[in-house]
Amino acid sequence: MKKIITLASLFAAVTFHSQEKKVHLTNAENLLLKIIPEGKISSWTVIYHLEGKERTLQSENRLPFESQGKGFKLNPHGTGYYYIAYLKDGVMKYITDDASLKAFIGRIDNGEEAALSALAHGYQIDFEFKDYAANYQDKGSYFIVDAGKETSSECPLARTHYTMHVDKMTGAVSAEKDLGPYFELYGKECTNNPHYSALDKQMEEARLRAEEQKRIQKEMTKKMEKKVRKQQRRN
């Protein structure tokens, strides 16, 4: 009996540890390939469109589809876009925006789908900064997803780190929390660049030090001249 309890406890500990582990999302292809569509989908294909050229990422019983002139992005600064062609009830349909992508996914089967649910709520998956904006944790009945959001488009271009809960049954996003900016980029035209302000401060401090040094040197010169004149009078 003791042995059974020990094994059960070990299993629980391993399960808890696996749920606590933060899983990084590496790229768009690995993310989209983990989709498990909701409902009776007899065929579906993920297509990547870039500068007039298209590449099929995944195909399940692929059927001919029409190229779409629009699609969804995982990151607003990413090149190209994605769309999904799928066959349901004998009719070919297309996923070209975040809302339809969420409906296509339905129940959340894995962390990748949880991240795509966050995408449908206005967040972005930023693979360049995985620790901040492209990872998830399995918490049993829900996932914790770390994603990003562009909070300023100029002076600076800024992206903010958010964490949130994604319910596995409904895909609902809750407990959203702003954890602060993780990326800031100031252009040459940005007059509010704090680095420029720091540089201006350093230059002003250097100018004041130089003026103080001149003042001290001037005082020393006066004292020396006074001493020389005094010596001359004695002679």
Residues 47, 84 contacting (CB under 8 angstroms): yes
Distance CA 218, CA 77 (A): 58
**227: Cβ contacts below 8 Å, ≥ 6 apart:** none
Q: Give the tens place of pLDDT for each residue, 138-184.
A: 999 999 999 999 988 888 889 999 999 999 999 999 999 999 999 98
pLDDT at 8: 40
Put simply, whether the predicted model's pTM sits higher than 0.95 gets the answer no
Residues 68, 76 contacting (CB under 8 angstroms): no
Q: Give the tens place of pLDDT for each residue, 41-55.
A: 888 999 999 999 999
Residues 96, 66 contacting (CB under 8 angstroms): no
Q: Give the tens place of pLDDT for each residue, 205-228.
A: 666 777 788 788 888 887 887 777
* Sequential DSSP letters for 57-102: EEEES----PPPS--B-SSTTSSSEEEEEEEETTEEEEE-SHHHHH
pLDDT at 66: 92
